[in-house]
């Protein structure tokens, strides 16, 4: 395995660990880490529900963290690793922050804006191009999201069944 492929897997595992923190908080499990010169300079995980902030996606939080740590909103030469394909908002933020490379795990067929629903990062009108690598630990990333939603559906079904029992007892 090439050195960069090993590095990509290493950092994606870090993003997966962050995604697990989001899941533990009841948020959609997405984690992101930003790396430059072999060092982590920013990290984040989904927190829009707990933070009451629709922009608190893992990527945005990692970008904010990195910009604050390095003292510059421009992150040239950095790679963002994220467990799930970024949405349009996050793809735009990657361009504005001058991220050089995006590495993501699983595709997001409904809202992914890098390859699934659009190729936002490859629009010819953009003044910055982001190199993209997809599919790093894709199965692990996909399983984390799928398992989260399966568990959520199961809990919803159990609550609904419990409510039916309560309603039946009341009648």
94: left (phi over 0), alpha (psi -120 to 50) or beta: alpha
* Helix, coil or strand: residue 95: helix
Closest CA to 48 of 38, 36, 39, 61: 61
| Catalytic entry in 59, 108, 124, 134 | 59
Pair 32, 20: CB distance under 8 Å:
no
Q: How many CA atoms lie within 13 A of 51 on its CB side?
A: 15
> For the chain, how big is the Rg over CA atoms in Å?
18
Q: What's the 3-state SS for 115-140? A: CCCCCHHHCCCCCCCCEEEECCCHHH
Using the structure block, give the residue that is written with the tokens 């467990």.
83
Tell me whether residue 59 is one of the annotated catalytic residues: yes
Give dist(CA 90, CA 169) in Å, integer: 48
Return the bridge partners of 42, or none.
34
Annotated catalytic residues are 59
């Amino acid at each position: 395995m090439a050195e960069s492929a090993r590095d990509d897997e290493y950092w994606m595992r870090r993003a997966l660990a962050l995604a697990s923190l989001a899941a533990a908080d009841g948020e959609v499990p997405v984690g992101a880490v930003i790396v430059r010169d072999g060092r982590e300079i920013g990290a984040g995980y989904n927190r829009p529900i707990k933070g009451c902030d629709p922009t608190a996606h893992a990527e945005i939080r990692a970008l904010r963290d990195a910009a604050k740590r390095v003292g510059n909103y421009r992150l040239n030469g950095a790679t963002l690793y994220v467990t799930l394909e970024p949405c349009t908002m996050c793809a735009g933020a990657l361009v504005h922050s001058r991220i050089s490379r995006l590495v993501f795990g699983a595709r997001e067929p409904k809202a992914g804006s890098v390859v699934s629903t659009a190729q936002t990062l490859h629009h010819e009108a953009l003044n910055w191009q982001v190199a993209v690598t997809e599919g790093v630990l894709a199965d692990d990333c996909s399983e984390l999201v799928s398992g989260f939603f399966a568990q959520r559906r199961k809990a919803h079904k159990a609550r609904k069944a419990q409510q039916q029992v309560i309603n039946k007892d009341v009648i």
